[in-house]
Structure 1
Amino acid sequence: MSTTTQSLQEAFEAVGKASRIIPLLEVTTINQVLLDVANEAEQETGFLLAENQKDLDRMDESDPKFDRLKLTPQRIKAIADDIRNVARLNYPVGKILTSKLLPNGLELTKITVPLGVIGIVYEARPNVTFDVFALCLKSGNACILKGGSDASYSNEAIISIIKRILTRYGIDENIVHLLPPDRSATDALLKAVGYVDVIIPRGSQSLIDFVRANSRVPVIETGAGIVHVYFDENGDLSKAINIVHNSKTRRVSVCNALDCLLIHQSRLPDLVALVTPLGEDGVELFADDQAFDQLQGYYPYGLLHRASPEHFGTEFLSMKMAIRTVRTLEEALDHIATYSSKHSEAIVTEDMPAAEKFTKAVDAAAVYINAATSFTDGAQFGLGAEIGISTQKLHARGPMALEELTSYKWIVRGNGQVRAK
């Protein structure tokens, strides 16, 4: 596809025109399209895996993005199930939020409406292509997708499946548009004022920073997670072992994975037991002096290092984790306030006043008490799927799903009323 300014503008115009038909579709049609896309994805597993392998062959397996890029039969099934979940959810458009009758006889109704055209800039995450389409269609939005070159074969294969189903139902295929994987398309999308209503970046902190700094279209920040678990002086060790292990190792390349364990100094004698499962899985630790001294000789050789300042505030996206010892809950809160990306933070404690203080003081989209941070996910929150995890405070925060992809408007019904001068 040509990436000339004219061709990109024509594509944006086509998406804008197509977006106007989505709110007019019957909900039953939308749901059936989603179910058919889910079924087609599973039926085309072989095709999707073959195209995905072309992308994988170009990437080093040690790259943190490799796991995010990789599709498997199990992951394709999970993606299809998430699409089916979205189909089962209530339609979020046209909900009455407020209704009132004014003394002058005007009837006011505040109802939910789609955002319009949503631009998504993302890296090597082919599942995002499916998720974004499903959520945007179900919330009445059109979408323009700008995936990375790392996943170009995978994304093109997914879009071909989606458009095949749209054509089957006679729906304008421009309600979803995949841009070419080059830089000029990104620049054009970020400057598409009047064509795109909002940009949502999904990926590394550098990607998010780039989009925020260069976009002329409003941006909702998502993604980057510098995640902490604080093991309090009154924490249950057995709970902490499972929570830390699951938060770190369930899937290291995702944004809700644990990056830094904060441990109260009174619990240092429990540190060996706490991290033993991590050592068995090959997690590399960067520990402050107190934690290092506690673990030396007990943690696997070659996997334990003394922490440097740069290890705190790092999103590792790999089998690496930092450890810092704190003397008080307040010190843990100060550390989180300094280094957190405001994504997901957790405390392990049986002291409920301490837990309550943690939830009030920590500024993050998701705050956990005695649970793994790996639950920060739209599907896990019962939202069907997610378009991203918003780490900002305007419009939406946390997993963004159907409701977060709507705005509202006022409908005013009158009978000839005019306003006095």
Structure 2
Amino acid sequence: MSLLAFGLNHRRAPISVLERAALDETSLSQIIEAATASPDISEHLVVATCNRTEIYAEVTAFHGAVADLTAALTQATDITQDDLKAHLDLHYGDAAVAHVFNVAAGLDSMAVGESQILGQLRDALGRGQSEGHVGTNLNALVQQALRTGKRVHSETAIDEVSRSLVGEGLDAAEEHVGALAGAHVLVVGAGAMSALAATSAIRRGVAELTVVNRTHERGVSLAERLGARARPAHELAQALADADVVISCTGSTGLAITLPDVADAQVARGGLPQAFIDLALPHDIAHEVADLSEVTRLGLAELGDRLGPGGSVPEVEEARTIVGDAVTKHLGQRAASIAGPTVRALRSAAQQVVERELARLGQRTPGMSESDRAEVDRAVHRIVEKLLHAPTVRAKELASDGRFGEYEDALHQLFDLHAEGGAL
């Protein structure tokens, strides 16, 4: 049994693909039914957010499970096989466990450190439990991931990371174009990070704020909340020419703003300075725009350099340490649980043999004293315990390394073991 994390998210798929992968109640139920029917999937839950459609599953066969989930997602949504080939985010085994923990901690979110994912993951778990498609292993995994996520938020300042990055970006912009009070700021994108950037810019007293988003309705929604202006995506060129500061976080897998886009904007502006702040991962704005004489560009790496040595953000590094330790601990517990049934079966079988032989000995030696009988009993149990110690330890080690399968089969064949007991 191994964990599989299968799906689409903002790191691998553009917003246009994520929108087509969005699940309503009908499509969510279809995927759940398909996963439940798969002979290669024993447990599963579906996490569906605006930037993520993922299925976490305990599987007995990797290729069979992937094929079944691929069919489920393509049949329930507008996603195609080609979409999945290009953008599927797939994790297996230990990597899948780490992925779930990173998601719960907000380290895999578009707005790093956001806590909304905890509630979304908790809701998915609750549904899986109530409908019976989350079992012991997946429940233990998600519960521990949720506890780790809560710990990250309580023991670190991860909640402030996105605000710190945006604030540092605005500081850098002011160094290049002057005070933001009176400046025109363009925000490209309408997700959580874009909303945070737009709100932060308004608090600094910008004269005008414009939002451009591929899906115009989402851009309008954000602009209306902030009293800003929304422009459709086909007006990006003019919006770039009008802006002193451009902040981009679209979730696109390709460039949202190219070198020719910025070069044309510079010509239209007559060479006035412009600052470009790229908060996207992967990046939205071509690195080469920084080579233009009146342009500065700062991405996440440059903002990280300004916040901490080597481009690291201390709060994120603290969170990663907590998550890493929790993943290691959970993998150990998981290995023990995987080996547990076979180890218990082996010990149960051995205990049955001991009890039968001691009973037979008692019948054959009615004259043996109680003290001698007790000593024989202790000696036999000590021998069995010593004989079983090495295979027990080795079973857990192999399970931890993901190599328990062949060892398990050998034990079952050699000792004729059953689920929780056996023949020997």
- TM-score normalised by structure 1 residue count: 0.26
The structure whose RCO (Cα within 8 Å, separation 6+) is larger is 1
TM-score between the two structures when normalised by the length of structure 2: 0.26
Which of the pair is proportionally richer in helix? 2
